[in-house]
Amino acid sequence: MPIISAPQEFNEEDLYVDLDAVLGIPLYLKCEGFNFTGSVKQKAAIAMVEAAEESGVLTPGSILVESSSGNLGVALSVIAAGKGYRFVCVTDSRCNLAAKRLMEALGAVVHTITEPAAEGGFLAARIACVRALCEQDERYVWLNQYVNTANWQAHHRLTAPAIARAHPGLDVLFVGAGTTGTLMGCARWFKEHRPGVRIVAVDSVGSVAFGHPPAPRMIPGLGTGVRPPLLDESFVDDVVMVPEPDTLRMCHRLAARGFLFGGSTGTVVSGAARWLAAHQGGERLHAVALAPDLGERYLDTIYHTNWAQGVYGPDVLADDTAPTPLTLLS
């Protein structure tokens, strides 16, 4: 029976969904959303905070500040509350309202950027705001997830070995690309310990991480307007780019079978399904994908029909596999 005294002490590491049984996709989905912060970002958040404490940068009276599209901000809000720090999250207008309310409920201050920078979009604008705050007050401590090595090291130490233990016959691992902390931590570990495992990065169309042209993106989580400093493409075997309408449709397919996941998961599963369809030969591959979070924070966006149709068009959810709506009898 687990007993904890701080929220960050609990993380479910060994839960997988067999998507072959659910959707006919030969893929095991590692569910990272079953902890008190609700996402895979808990691991990086803890690692970065503890590294800052150990180095003496973060001390009593410090104010944590970070740029986040949602999940890391929630994770840091939980950890800051547990440790007694004040926390300011700089996000942008794409951040889900549920995530903002969660952060505020936990005592964080949420600053929302409404205008993207001419170069680098919302991310560059958020980073500029964080830098300005740090220049104004020396109490601010920016963990800087975009360059912080503790970000990827957390997944090198925890996530990748857990996958290897659960799947000794693993052939291919699919990981979404945002800051690329999760991707790099897993990719580095497998190249060191199990080099035969193929590492496939999954990114959103409109993200510039792997050299593709920038374009507007409406779903927070994966993708970036600035090339991630942590990214080393030599550790990545393949890249799949997923359009956001495909993300939306995959999320709804999963929800139709009772699995409510977040946008990043829809992107990763959609990309993995496409890659596997193109690479499955006579031999069945043993494949795993990471699901960064669950779907409750996306009820007003991805799972809201008016929002989805308003952003992507009236036919975005047209799908012959969707269940027929029930007719209520009076």
> Residue 328: its pLDDT value, please?
56
Residue 175, strand partner residues: 201
> Residue 318: its pLDDT value, please?
84
User: Which structural domains are found in the chain, ordered by start?
Assistant: 7-35+148-312 (3.40.50.1100), 41-142 (3.40.50.1100)
Residue 246 one-letter amino acid:
D
> Residue 325: its pLDDT value, please?
46
Residue 15 one-letter amino acid:
L
| Helix (H) or strand (E) segment spanning residue 92 | strand 86-92
| Mean pLDDT per 10-residue interval, the chain, length 330 residues | 88 95 96 96 97 96 95 97 96 92 97 91 93 95 96 98 98 97 98 98 96 92 92 98 97 97 97 93 88 95 95 85 47
Q: Is 211 left (phi over 0), alpha (psi -120 to 50) or beta?
A: left
Q: Please name the residues in contact with 251: beta carbons below 8 A apart, sequence gap of 6 or more.
A: 261, 262, 263, 265, 266, 295, 298, 302, 303
Distance CA 127, CA 233 (A): 24
* DSSP structural state of residue 224: -
Do the beta carbons of residue 36 and residue 42 sit within 8 Å? yes
Residue 18, strand partner residues: 28
Do the beta carbons of residue 145 and residue 155 sit within 8 Å? no
Residue 168 one-letter amino acid:
P
List for the chain the helix, strand, coil content (%; round to 5).
40, 15, 40
Do the beta carbons of residue 126 and residue 111 sit within 8 Å? no
Do the beta carbons of residue 83 and residue 50 sit within 8 Å? no
Do the beta carbons of residue 73 and residue 108 sit within 8 Å? yes
The crossing angle, in degrees rounded to 10, of helices 244-256 and 305-312 is 160
> Residue 184: its pLDDT value, please?
98
* Predicted TM-score (pTM) of this structure: 0.93
CA distances to 82, 146, 157, 321 from 227, rounded to whole Å, are 33, 10, 24, 37
The distance of Cα 177 from the centroid of its chain, to the nearest Å, equals: 8
> Residue 2: its pLDDT value, please?
83
Do the beta carbons of residue 152 and residue 188 sit within 8 Å? yes
CA distances to 27, 28, 157, 168, 186 from 162, rounded to whole Å, are 17, 14, 9, 10, 10
Residue 128's φ and ψ, nearest 5 degrees, are: -60, -40
